[in-house]
Structure 1
Amino acid sequence: MTRIPAVERRAELVAAAVRMIAAHGVEGATTRRIAQEANAPLATLHYCFASKEMLFAAVFEYVAGQYREVLTRNAVRGDVETTARELLRGLLEWYVANPDVGPAIVELISWGQRQEDKQAELVYNEAFETMRPILLNAASSAGQSVDPSTIDDLIYIVSTLSDGFALNWLVFTDRAAALPQIELTLGVLNAWMSANLGDSSERGARASRASA
């Protein structure tokens, strides 16, 4: 039997934990179920993770890393408005393409808030720390003068719209409806940017609507 490297086995167990949390909730995602989902002996899981809490901490890090990867991948070279739209679009399309992610995140955030180490904040802090330099660099490259506090507000809007869409997708999982809802959600972002970032946002919004 081929020996699977420990790093690879840990990654398989974390991915299996995400699927089991999405399907059964945090309490129902037992170590036995997770090990079976990963096609690994239960003893291997306990070897890789000394406790269920350590496994879930790795799951939080994994989800935060996924956010970072999605945001970085969608960091287009454009002005603030164009960049913010693509960041949000990338997140929304990621939720649709990965239906286990939304339920797992909701379960994890709810569970994490009851823990003392505030792991639930990890995902949001990671998203903020990833988006902020992307948007600041976009403003600098485009020669835009945008107050850093406005950038922070924009990040909050993107995060909130993303969360709302994720919850709706979690409830209905209607792919046909989700596609126009992505454009509707982007329209809300366009409206906020038009009101808070000036004329260039409205030009970008018109271009976005025309493209859609």
Structure 2
Amino acid sequence: MARVGAELRRQDFVEATIKVIAEHGVADATTRRIAAAADSPLASLHYVFHTKDDLFYAVYESLFSQLQQAMEHVPAGPTPAESAAEMLRQLITWLASHPDLARAQSELFFWTLRNNPELARKIYTMAMEATEQAMERAVGPQFDKTRLNTVSRLLVQLADGLLLAWPAHGDLEQLKVETETACLALKLLVENL
């Protein structure tokens, strides 16, 4: 059996954790189940991640990294309002095309909120900072810090709401319609700030 480096093994565990959480929820995301999904010995999981919180935080880092990479390619619109709406549209489109990631992110955030509120705040702050950075790239210097923060917060709140509603109704076409309605709301806010 070939040896696998710690960094590669780490990514295998993160990917396995996302799949397990998406399929079974956080409560049933045991380290045994995660190790099995990664096709790895349980001892390797405990060697790479000393605690489950360390593993879950690594999952968040991976999710944010993937989302940031997806948001780097959002084309700037002709106006800041169009740029903000396109960011939301692209974010939801990307998450809809990666349903395991979307489901795992929601599951993990609510579990963390109940079990480790300090980590949940840290994660939410990290998400807001990443969104503000992406928004700043999309709209350029046209927004001051307060406006940037307001628009970014609304974008995150709209995205969170859409991603909570989607599994409830399970209809991708309805998600697209709801996303366009949310994009319109975001555009109206930006135009009137």
What residue number does 2:63 align with?
A: 63
2:174 is equivalent to residue 177 of structure 1: yes
What residue number does 1:190 align with?
A: 187
1:120 to partner: Cα distance: 1.6
Give the whole-Å Cα distance in 1 for the aligned partners of 2:103 and 2:55.
18
Displaced runs of 4 or more, over 3 A: 75-79, 114-117, 133-137
What residue number does 1:155 align with?
A: 152
Give the whole-Å Cα distance in 2 for the aligned partners of 1:60 and 1:100.
13
Q: TM-score, normalised by structure 2?
A: 0.87
SS at 1:108 equivalent? helix
Contact (CA 8 Å) 1:79, 1:139: kept in 2 or not? no
What residue number does 1:106 align with?
A: 106
Q: TM-score, normalised by structure 1?
A: 0.80
Structure 2 counterparts to residues 28-177 of structure 1, below 5 A: 28-74=28-74, 76=76, 79-116=79-116, 118-136=118-136, 138-140=139-141, 144=142, 146-177=143-174
1:59 to partner: Cα distance: 1.5
User: Greater shift after overlay, 180-189 or 84-93?
Assistant: 180-189
| Letter of the structure 1 residue corresponding to residue 62 of structure 2 | Y
1:79 to partner: Cα distance: 4.1
1:123 to partner: Cα distance: 3.5
Give the whole-Å Cα distance in 1 for the aligned partners of 2:20 and 2:140.
41
Q: What is the total number of aligned residue pairs between the two structures? A: 192
Contact (CA 8 Å) 1:60, 1:123: kept in 2 or not? yes
Distance 1:134 1:106, change over 3 A: closer
Structure 2: state its 5+ residue gaps: none
Deviation string, structure 1 residues 175-194 (Cα, Å, up to 9, x no partner): 23222232222122122223
Deviation string, structure 1 residues 65-116 (Cα, Å, up to 9, x no partner): 2332232232637542232122211211122111112321222122222345
| Letter of the structure 2 residue corresponding to residue 190 of structure 1 | K
SS at 1:105 equivalent? helix
User: What percentage of aligned pairs have identical amino acids?
Assistant: 32
1:49 to partner: Cα distance: 1.3
Bigger Rg over Cα:
1
1:14 to partner: Cα distance: 0.7
Contact (CA 8 Å) 1:68, 1:126: kept in 2 or not? no
Contact (CA 8 Å) 1:67, 1:126: kept in 2 or not? no
Structure 1: state its 5+ residue gaps: 197-212
Deviation string, structure 1 residues 6-34 (Cα, Å, up to 9, x no partner): 21111011111111112222120001111
Q: Which has the higher contact order (CA 8 A, sep 6+)?
A: 2
